[in-house]
């Protein structure tokens, strides 16, 4: 799946990879973030 | 929130990228966003959005990230997270719903 040109819903997790980090990564690959969240289950 | 986004912009060219720490939670995200909430208590109960869900550390996603950005944001978690198990579960659920074909057209 090529990220370039895709619209992305980012669902990060506090104990995994957090939303803003995923957003930075997908932007570097040419995708656009539509929604960025970081879940926390504690 | 996700439901509202899909209603506003549609499913075309739309994917979900998760950063779940383990295979169980990654599978739960995928199941919820593809088939609907399996617990039938959340806002996606009975709503099948059929969104392709990937993990940010899956090899086919990771290889597209700028190396400097990867090093800054992902390198450490890449050591801590068992991505093989996560990737297998997500691949299975995407294939079950034929979501590779939809997104790669």
pLDDT in tens, B31-57: 999 999 999 998 999 999 999 999 999
Structure tokens at B87: 């990737």
**ipTM here:** 0.95
Q: Which of B9, B81, B104 sits opposite A34 (nearest CB)?
A: B9
Per the structure, the complete domain to which residue B71 belongs is given by 2-104
Q: How far apart are CA A3 and CA A16, in angstroms?
A: 21
Structure tokens at B82: 């068992």
- Residue B105's pLDDT band (boundaries 50, 70, 90)? very low
If you count them, how many residues does chain B have? 105
Give a yes or no: residue A1 inside a domain: no
Question: What is the total count of domains within chain A?
Answer: 1
For range A31-38, the mean pLDDT = 95
From chain A, the residues in CB contact with B51 under 8 A are: 9
| Percent of all residues in chain B with a pLDDT value above 90, rounded to a whole number | 85
From chain B, the residues in CB contact with A6 under 8 A are: 13-15
Phi, psi of B20 (to 5 degrees): -55, 145
> 3-class DSSP state for residue B45?
coil
Q: How far apart are CA B57 and CA B19, in angstroms?
A: 8
Residues paired with residue A11 on neighbouring β-strands, in sequence order: A37, B18
Say what the pLDDT of residue B99 is: 82
Question: What is the total count of domains within chain B?
Answer: 1
pTM above 0.90, yes or no: yes
Per the structure, the complete domain to which residue A17 belongs is given by 7-39
Q: Does the pLDDT at position B103 exceed 90?
A: no
Structure tokens at B94: 């995407």
- Gap from B17 CA to chain A (nearest CA, Å): 5
From chain B, the residues in CB contact with A35 under 8 A are: 1-2, 5
Give a yes or no: residue A2 inside a domain: no
């Amino acid at each position: 799946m090529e990220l370039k040109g895709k619209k992305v819903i980012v669902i990060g997790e506090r104990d995994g990879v957090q939303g803003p980090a995923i957003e930075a990564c997908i932007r570097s690959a040419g995708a656009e973030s539509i929604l960025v969240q970081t879940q926390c289950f504690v | 929130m996700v439901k509202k986004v899909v209603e506003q912009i549609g499913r075309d060219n739309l994917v979900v990228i998760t950063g779940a720490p383990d295979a169980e939670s990654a599978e739960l995200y995928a199941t919820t966003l593809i088939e609907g909430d399996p617990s039938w208590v959340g806002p996606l109960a009975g709503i099948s959005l059929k969104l392709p869900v990937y993990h940010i550390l899956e090899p086919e996603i990771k290889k597209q990230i700028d190396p400097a950005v990867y090093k800054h944001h992902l390198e450490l978690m890449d050591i801590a997270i068992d991505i093989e198990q996560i990737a297998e579960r997500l691949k299975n659920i995407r294939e079950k719903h034929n979501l590779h074909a939809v997104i790669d057209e």
